[in-house]
Structure 1
Amino acid sequence: MSDGQVFPHATGAALATVERHQESQDLVFYAGWFCPYVQRTWIALEERGIPYQYKEVNPYKKEKHFLAINPKGLVPAIEYKGQALYESLILSEFLEDAYPEYTPRLLPSDPFQKAQVRLQIDYIGKNVIPAFMRTVQAQQIEKQQEGLKDLYAGLKQVSERVKGPFFLGEEFSLADVALAPWVVRDYIVAEHRGYKREEVGGGWKEYAEHIEKRESVLKTTSESQHYDVIYGRYLRDEAQSEAAKAIRAGRPIP
């Protein structure tokens, strides 16, 4: 593998998880180990102990069968009893409905709390993740600082809503899942863009530490040196993913 290629499979704890999920199941999980959106759904699967078969999708050579499942060619996607679905948060909510007997649930039964979780997820998607990506892709110092300022502001608002140690208190929910992959990857902005968790304020550092130590998060995280190759492209603003193109064009991330 050259430095310009994505490592072909998960490593570390994530590889051990992949190896435990190779047997045929009703639910087939099409994934890319490196993708933060994939990790969202993967965390949900592991958190709830739902049986699934893991299948890695080669981002440079997508099989016809996978493209038939998701014409966008994006991971994550699933096949469930022969039917196809995609989009990370939709998949996570689908798992709540399709596997009600598996616990813990990631959406609370109380309607008001459920709405609060969905509002938090919406805020993360519209404010935190775009700021993270703008900060990573920015090439000019002033643009990096502008992105970092927005990232700090977004994360502070997130943390101020946290009841602790997780968003709903003791209960780990989809609001935490939605953000966890970027917590795992925040060392990228720390090493290259001057980000510091303690500078966010509002209890963010403590919240992030609880998130990254969650078993389901650890079990779906690969070794950092392999993320470095991928994020090097974003740091140089050379990435050609749909997310990178959207950030470059000033459009919402698809």
Structure 2
Amino acid sequence: MAIPDEQIFPHATGAAAETVQKHQQPQDVIFYAGWFCPFVQRTWIVLEERGIPYQYKEVNPYKKEKHFLDINPKGLVPAIEYKGNALYESMILCEFLEDAFPEAIPRLYPSDAFERAYARIWIDYIAKSIVPAFFRLLQGQTEEKRKTALDDFVKALGAFADKVKGPYFLGDQFSLVDACIAPWVVREYIVVEHRGHSRDLAGVNWKVYADLLEKRPSVLKTGSEHYTEIYGRYLRDEAQSEAAKATRSGGVIP
């Protein structure tokens, strides 16, 4: 008998499970998360990179507690409760953590105003070009749709990689740009195994960058096993997440 989706790996596994266990004590920052979610992982990476104390709370997407829905009516992870106030949306949370904890080192945005704006341009590019192409490729059910999505995904990755100053996107220092794209680097193997993708298709710059990024300690510590089992719903285009629904309808991923 098939196991219901809600019973498949309800908690983080692997290295991420160890990280979760280290963050169970009450803190000013309460991090509401879903271990499988790439949008969660980008915020989680920022918390780990900057060493900000936080309490991790897993949200069951099939049974959301009233308190979570009270602080975040959209019901989406990630969300943060900070000293009784709530915020949500992954990039807003990343920016908040940068602003609210100026003493935490390292900062993930450059100090120069122009460089910060430049970083935001490429973060926006990730959101509008790379992430949608990934989901279209993941959910494509015909050869024609998959080919179009694969071409778009490879092109988007290649254009991004051409701007990498090396070894990280802005140069020697890991930045918020790297944190934002890392979860899709981690999950790239799914479309390699199931959709005919290869890092080599996006060029040597992408392969070198992605190979380095997935080995970053903060990326490893927030990464779980069993993504393929969870993303099987996307591969069959049966997922009911907001990202999946937006991809299916041709809308903007929230």
Is residue 237 from structure 1 mapped to residue 237 from structure 2 by the alignment? yes
Structure 2 counterpart of 1:80: 82
Alpha-carbon distance between aligned partners in 1 of 2:5 and 2:64, rounded to the nearest angstrom = 18
Alpha-carbon distance between aligned partners in 2 of 1:4 and 1:58, rounded to the nearest angstrom = 11
Alpha-carbon distance between aligned partners in 2 of 1:94 and 1:181, rounded to the nearest angstrom = 19
CA RMSD of aligned residues (A): 1.0
| SS state at 1:84 partner | strand
Q: How does 1:197-236 map to 2 (within 5 A)?
A: 197-201=199-203, 203-223=205-225, 226-236=226-236
Deviation at 1:2, TM superposition (A): 1.8
Q: How does 1:32-181 map to 2 (within 5 A)?
A: 32-181=34-183
Deviation at 1:215, TM superposition (A): 0.4
Alpha-carbon distance between aligned partners in 2 of 1:22 and 1:102, rounded to the nearest angstrom = 20
Structure 1 counterpart of 2:3: 2
Whether the 8 Å CA contact 1:160–1:202 is kept in 2: the answer is: no
Alpha-carbon distance between aligned partners in 2 of 1:210 and 1:105, rounded to the nearest angstrom = 20
Alpha-carbon distance between aligned partners in 2 of 1:69 and 1:110, rounded to the nearest angstrom = 34
Deviation at 1:80, TM superposition (A): 0.3
| SS state at 2:5 partner | coil
Any unmatched runs of 5+ in structure 2? none
1:191-249 alpha-carbon deviations (Å, 9 max, x no partner): 000100011015000000111010000000001xx211211000000000000000000
Amino acid at match of 2:25: E
Structure 2 counterpart of 1:246: 246
Give TM-score, length-normalised by structure 1. Answer: 0.98
Deviation at 1:106, TM superposition (A): 0.7
Runs of 4+ in 1 over 3 A off after TM superposition: none
Number of aligned positions between the proteins:
252
Deviation at 1:4, TM superposition (A): 2.8
Alpha-carbon distance between aligned partners in 2 of 1:106 and 1:93, rounded to the nearest angstrom = 9
Give TM-score, length-normalised by structure 2. Answer: 0.98
Deviation at 1:52, TM superposition (A): 0.2
Deviation at 1:3, TM superposition (A): 5.5
Amino acid at match of 1:2: I
Deviation at 1:142, TM superposition (A): 1.2
